[in-house]
């Protein structure tokens, strides 16, 4: 299983261009995806869940920066 590394700068730039609605929707999508990603990770020792958690941290930081956290 090839592990994906988060491109922090690209995700930060994307987050800065997202609306509040888009940021919240992205976080909700990640939350719905995590149980499935984690299940697959247990099967093949992947790191999908970690990738999505890293991505969500960028979105949460952006919300906090905007005073929305």
Tens place of pLDDT for every residue, the chain, 69 residues? Answer: 667 899 999 999 999 999 999 999 999 999 999 999 999 999 999 999 999 999 999 999 999 999 997
pLDDT, residue 2, reads: 64
pTM of the model: 0.90
pLDDT, residue 4, reads: 82
CA-CA distances (angstroms) from residue 64 to 36, 40, 60?
A: 27, 31, 6
CA–CA separation, 35 and 21 (whole Å): 23
pLDDT, residue 65, reads: 97
pLDDT, residue 1, reads: 61
């Amino acid at each position: 299983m090839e592990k994906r590394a988060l491109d922090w700068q690209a995700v930060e730039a994307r987050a800065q261009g997202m609306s509040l609605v888009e940021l919240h929707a992205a976080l909700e999508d990640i939350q719905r995806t995590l149980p499935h990603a984690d299940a697959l990770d247990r099967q093949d020792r992947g790191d999908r869940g970690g990738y999505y958690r890293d991505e969500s941290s960028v979105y949460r930081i952006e919300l906090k920066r905007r005073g929305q956290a």
